[in-house]
Amino acid sequence: MRTLLLAAIFSGMSFCWTLTVHAQSVGLPTPRLLTTMPMGAKAGSEVEITITGEYLEEADELTFSDPRLSATRILDEAGQPIPFRYLVTVAPDCPVGVHEARVMTRLGISSSRAFTVGTLDEVVRTKPNTSLADAMELQINTICNAVMTQRAVDYYSFEGRQGERIVVDCATRGIDSKLNAVLIIADAAGRDLLVERRGGSLDFTVPEEGRYVIKVHEITFKGGPAYYYRLALQKLPSEASVVRLPSTQTVNSFSWPPTGLPEKPELTEQEPNSPESPQKISLPCDIAGHFFPAADVDVFEFEAKKGEVWWVEVASERFGLPTDPAIVVQRVERTDNSQTLTDVAEFSDIPSPVRVSSNGYAYDGPPYNAGSADVLGQLEIKEDGIHRLQLSDQFGGTRNDPRNEYRLVVRKAAPDFALVSWALHMELRNGDRNAVSKPLALRGGATMALEVVAIRRDGFEGEIELFMEGLPEGITAQGLKIPSGQSRGMMLVTADPNAPRAFGNVTFSGRANIDGETVTRPCRLASMAWPIPDAWSDLPSPRLLADVPISVSGFDFAPLTIAPTTRDAYSVTAGEKLTIPLAQTRRSEFSGAAMKCRTMGAGFEGVPMFDVALTADSSEVVLDTATLKTQPGEYVIAFYGGAVAKYRHRPKDVDVAEEACRKAEEDVAAIDAEVKNLMDNVQAAAPEKKSEIEQALAAAMVKQKAAADALTAATARLKQATDAAAPRDIVDIVVSEPITIHVQPAEK
């Protein structure tokens, strides 16, 4: 059934977002899809949606991460596509959950916006509902798509029957919204009955038949287009468990589950598995449990032999739960009347392999945490005997929530790794984190670096190669491997200057040799839900993406391309110096004469910073393998730095607008002349001709007015284009094309 939802009815949203203009901002203009309205649809339906965002110029194809979602442009009466309007078709077999929506623009593929497929009927709020009197009536088993009104409470109402179990849920952060929702069920007079402010759902048993009110607001009453939500009103059987609305995944969930872990664990905890009556288990084990009730401590007891080595892993926070698991393993010595416990090991967080941003003013690391509050560690048994493993939630002292689950795995070493990556950012300008949120939309001649981080499991120390497959035409990718024992690598994606406009989903993987076998693991991509122009006013909200889309613009080009003068590998003998000539292709003016460059790539990160000229077409860098103590082998490196480009947005539009303006002026001049001529003719005309000429004059004057209007419009467009194309100082992260180096052994 086709559901026609008029998306232009929601209030407070414009098609173009106001862009914060700094004297010097960070990151070139990037297409970002910021909202869709509605934000989801029922499986097996069609829905009209309206999109908004930044730099969505010439937006055409709307794509999704699942092929069972598709979209076509909505046409006006003249058969022309209406900007930003699409008809989305959801196949009946499209999986329920959050999918990625993106739009292809002049600058390439946009950033992603969550689009949810569900099973309930969907509606869109049609008019303001910020008072009890204006409450929007909702049918049971419906999802309402709406945008939070600033400094207001949105009101909904429903009819409840005594004894009915009503669950109210609200998708917000999990679908990329900035809303921290407060949900309230109130009586018909608006008096609060039940409140949820921590992101949970409301589970309400109707006390008596009648009208009830649902209130929704942001915890600090913020609102506006970025604060959208999907409010679900459902009736559930009394014994049914509540299934929350689908949500995107947190970044650190990339490291769960371990490869090959069964979907269901073999054991569940048996309460009371307390310190007084521990639950007996044998190793290895795979157990599911809950941090419930408050201050729950689950204790498992097992026999172990001296010298045994086990790996202990707990997942809970990586399920998206607000928990902080901690484990203590103790050896138990019992006599007739007493018991002595001796600490053997303690486990708490999985540290991030790279320093995580403190979200301070100065950029001090990526705002992506690949670590977790979960547990992953090695347990070495020091004495034969009974041991106990005590698992608790460091955040659970006073919290009574049975939804806080965990899964505990104790296994023999199964070395492995998991990978996650994100677009590289660096300290360019304090406070501005816009560039952290960027799609893989390449300009011709650009190289984009993705920072890749590995969580190594169970003692795996080997090197990990990184690669991409299925790249669009004109795009190449080169991985800078993660060295043995380390956790950070890089993936460089380069668009040829002549690459045609293209878009495609690629496969991004890591490969390693583990115990003699080649193992390939996916590398998940993470991104930000929103650009953050000011790190003090807003916190980044990172999440995992479902896929890895890459595009090249075909229209716009990188301000600066740095490449070696040859694509061939360089060769150097260990202990000697290697000079690499670089060629700069400049397509913009820059502030300053040179760009400070660093080197990325294992073995060469210690290369001192050097200058790349911004006013010349060539530079060179000298790599001293003696100082770097580079061992023989093959290396891939690249150079990177920040350059302030005098960026001009769509300069060719100025030429087009000027031409249109000139044409309009000519039209005006022509029609002015015609009108003058006709006026003269009227004066001179014979009486029998006068009427005919006057009619012609009237018609000409209408044309004259139209021409004048056209000239005014053309002049405005020219001004607009000129303003947009005026040079703006924008700091761009410039990464060179990858360079391969063979370091030969020194002759003895």
What's the min distance (Å) between Cβ of 203 and other proteins?
14
217 binds other proteins (CB under 8 A): yes
Smaller CB distance to other proteins: residue 68 or 399?
399
**404 within 8 A of 290, measured Cβ to Cβ:** yes
H/E element, 643: strand 633-647
What's the min distance (Å) between Cβ of 386 and other proteins?
18
362 binds other proteins (CB under 8 A): no
354 binds other proteins (CB under 8 A): no
* Binding residue (CB under 8 A) for other proteins from 322, 351, 483, 504: 322
Binding mask 526-565 for other proteins (x = CB under 8 A): ----------x--x--------------------------
Residue 302's φ and ψ, nearest 5 degrees, are -150, 160
H/E element, 71: strand 69-75
**212 within 8 A of 125, measured Cβ to Cβ:** no
360 binds other proteins (CB under 8 A): yes
Contacts of 147 (CB under 8 A, 6+ apart): 10, 11, 12, 13, 35, 37, 125, 223, 224, 225, 227, 228, 229
**107 within 8 A of 66, measured Cβ to Cβ:** no
Binding mask 445-464 for other proteins (x = CB under 8 A): --------------------
- Interatomic CA distance for residues 104 and 119, integer angstroms: 28
Cβ-count burial of 114 within 10 angstroms (0-12 exposed, 13-18 middle, 19+ buried)?
buried
- Interatomic CA distance for residues 685 and 687, integer angstroms: 6
346 binds other proteins (CB under 8 A): yes
Amino acid occupying residue 12 = G
What's the min distance (Å) between Cβ of 185 and other proteins?
12
297 binds other proteins (CB under 8 A): yes
DSSP 8-state class, residue 659: H
307 binds other proteins (CB under 8 A): no
User: Scanning residues 256 to 295, which ones bind other proteins (CB under 8 A)?
Assistant: 275, 295
- Interatomic CA distance for residues 181 and 331, integer angstroms: 46
219 binds other proteins (CB under 8 A): yes
185 binds other proteins (CB under 8 A): no
2 binds other proteins (CB under 8 A): no
What's the min distance (Å) between Cβ of 360 and other proteins?
7
Of residues 600, 424, 418, 638, the one with CA closest to residue 509:
418
**582 within 8 A of 612, measured Cβ to Cβ:** yes
Choices 32-40, 387-395, 510-518, 721-729 (CB under 8 A): range interacting with other proteins: 387-395
221 binds other proteins (CB under 8 A): yes
Amino acid occupying residue 373 = A
Residue 712's φ and ψ, nearest 5 degrees, are -60, -45
* Binding residue (CB under 8 A) for other proteins from 3, 89, 142, 180: 180
Choices 105-113, 219-227, 552-560, 582-590 (CB under 8 A): range interacting with other proteins: 219-227
What's the min distance (Å) between Cβ of 523 and other proteins?
24
**653 within 8 A of 724, measured Cβ to Cβ:** yes
What's the min distance (Å) between Cβ of 324 and other proteins?
6
Choices 190-198, 411-419, 442-450, 556-564 (CB under 8 A): range interacting with other proteins: 190-198
**376 within 8 A of 272, measured Cβ to Cβ:** no
Binding mask 650-689 for other proteins (x = CB under 8 A): ----------------------------------------
- Interatomic CA distance for residues 5 and 146, integer angstroms: 12
Choices 158-166, 194-202, 618-626, 627-635 (CB under 8 A): range interacting with other proteins: 194-202
**142 within 8 A of 168, measured Cβ to Cβ:** no
CB atoms within 10 A of CB 466: 25
What's the min distance (Å) between Cβ of 223 and other proteins?
10
220 binds other proteins (CB under 8 A): yes
User: Scanning residues 391 to 450, which ones bind other proteins (CB under 8 A)?
Assistant: 392, 394-399
Which residues lie near other proteins (CB under 8 A)? 130, 151-153, 180, 182, 191-192, 195, 197-199, 217, 219-222, 275, 295, 297, 322, 324, 326, 328, 346, 356-360, 367, 390, 392, 394-399, 536, 539
